[in-house]
Every structure is written in C-alpha cells, then in structure tokens.
Amino acid sequence: MTGLMDTHFHTQAMARKGVDVEKLLQDLFSAGFAGGIDVGTECDDLPLRADRLAPYPRIKLSAGIGPWGVDYGREPIDAQIGTMVAAIERYTTDCIGEIGLDAYWKYGTPALQEELFIRQIELADTLDLPIIIHNRDADERTGEILKAHPPKRGGILHCFSATMDLAEIALERGFYISFAGTITYKKNGYLRDILRDLPLERVLLETDSPYLSPEPLRGTVNTPLRMPFIYDVAATVRQMPVSELAQAIRTNFATLFSADRTF
C-alpha cells in the first residue's frame, strides 16, 4: 500500500454499505496510503465529508452532482446547484465532480443531463477548479461537450470505459484518464490496451469504492485498501515496477492540482 494513491472513492457510499470509514482511514494511512480524492455525487454531501476528512489533508475533496441529479422527482437544477455552491463557499473544495452523462441508466432526459453537466463545467471554470467526469455509454456527446465547453483547468475522465477517440479528445484538453478495477476483469482486454498506449504522464488509478471491486474480490464491497490489485495489473500492462508506476501517479496527481500548470 505504501505510496499508492486512489484518485476516486466515495466515503459516504462506503459508510452506507457498512464500511467503518474512520477505521478504514486509519488502516489506510498506517499502511502508507498516499491519499486521493473523496468524490461527491449529490448537491448536499460536501459538509459531512469535509468534516469527516478534515484530519486527512492528503485526501482532496470534490463536490458535484452526477447525472442522476436530473432523475424524475428530483429538485430543479437551479435549486441543487444553489445548495452546492453555498456549501462550496463554506468548505474547501478541490474539484467539481463527479459530473457528466449516463445513457445506460437514462436519468431524466438527455437534454437535462447535458444542462446539469454544462452548468457545472461553467461553475468549475468560475472557481478555477478541475472537473471529474462520469461517462457511461455516452462517449459521443461527452466528446462533443468537451469540444464545445473545454474546461479551463482540465480534469479527470474517471473509471475509463470508453474508446481511444474519447481519450484523445480529453488528452488534448489537458485531461487525465483514470482506470478502475475494471482493468482487472478478464473480458476488458480493450481497456488494458488503451492503458498500455496512453502517455504515462496522463494516467491515474482509482477504486471507485464502494463499487467495482477488482479481481479476485469482484462483487463485494470495495475500499481503497484494494488499490494493490489494480496497481499490480496496471504495472504488468505498463511493464514497469509498481513502485515506479506509483511514483508516476503521485506526480500526475500533484500536477493536476497545481494551479500554475500549462498543458
């Protein structure tokens, strides 16, 4: 675990699935965890996460409303963004996300998903923060939106499961491509191929805990303690030692969050 980062996890959702988050954080840092990002999914989840994670400065915080925010019966977009902005004004926020499109679950309508996505790209630009993109089965529209509204500070294409085309559109706009435990699944050779071919200085690794547990623990509640399974596969794919890969990920992460970087 020493020196490993996890660039995308959800402490709130882990707690809901029965994980003792306080103990998890202690276990992680006593095992040498290098930190990462606790990712928001709803307009009102920042305060609780910020309080819980205040003692852990190596964990960055994002705030964002995913495409599920426009599902039927939800509050209007304006009200949700208002709630989130009020929280961002009170708590340190390092990036905006996860935000994006999900054509698999088809929340609300495609037009509403896009409006919520674009409004939050604009918010990130106003705040001079990077974004974290959720894209499920919406490669084409995600690419078009990135071209029409290129986020000023770039960001992360999280849990990458798309085509090399979308990866290239994102790379050209200063993005990092983050791979999750899905790279350990046997059928996902195409993801391992993309991971092998990308410039190393744009690669990140994540668990997306509590989701997407890597092999051999697939189907169970995931935590960042399972990062070694993902790093092992990624290091084999990249044909380099885990320690060198971990160093590269830490450098990429630091570069993403330094405000004066240039693409």
Nearer to Zn ion, 61 or 238 (CB): 61
- Between residues 132 and 195, which has the closer beta carbon with respect to Zn ion? 132
| Minimal distance, residue 138 CB to Zn ion, in Å | 15
Return the residue nearest Zn ion (CB atom): 208
DSSP assignment string, 68-92: GGGSTTPPPHHHHHHHHHHHHHHS-
The minimum distance between CB 24 and Zn ion, in angstroms, equals 17
CB of 118 to Zn ion, least distance (A): 20
Give the residue with the Cβ less far from Zn ion, 68 or 257: 68
Report the residue number, 114 or 206, with the smaller CB distance to Zn ion: 206
Q: In whole angstroms, how close is the CB of 191 to Zn ion at the nearest point?
A: 17
**CB-nearer residue toward Zn ion: 208 or 238:** 208
- CB distance 247 to 238 below 8 Å: no
Identity of residue 77: I
The residues of the shown chain that bind Zn ion, judged by CB under 5 A, are 208
**Are the beta carbons of 39 and 9 closer than 8 angstroms?**
yes
- Beta-bridged to residue 209, according to DSSP, are 9
* Cβ 62 to Zn ion shortest distance, Å: 10
Q: Least distance from C-beta 69 to Zn ion, angstroms?
A: 14
- Please name which of 180, 220, 210, 208 lies closest in space to residue 14, comparing C-alpha atoms: 210
The residue (of 9 and 33) whose beta carbon lies closer to Zn ion is 9
The label of the residue with tokens 């964002």 reads 64
**Read out DSSP for 116-170?**
HHHHHHHHHHHHT--EEEEEES-HHHHHHHHHHS--TT-EEE-S--S-HHHHHHH
Could you tell me the two tokens for 83? Answer: 């709630």
Write b or e for each residue in 175-194: b if 16 or more Cβ atoms lie within 10 A of its Cβ, otherwise e.
bbbbbbbbbbbeebeebbeb
Distances (CA, A) of 224 to 19, 21, 34, 77, 80: 11, 11, 11, 32, 29
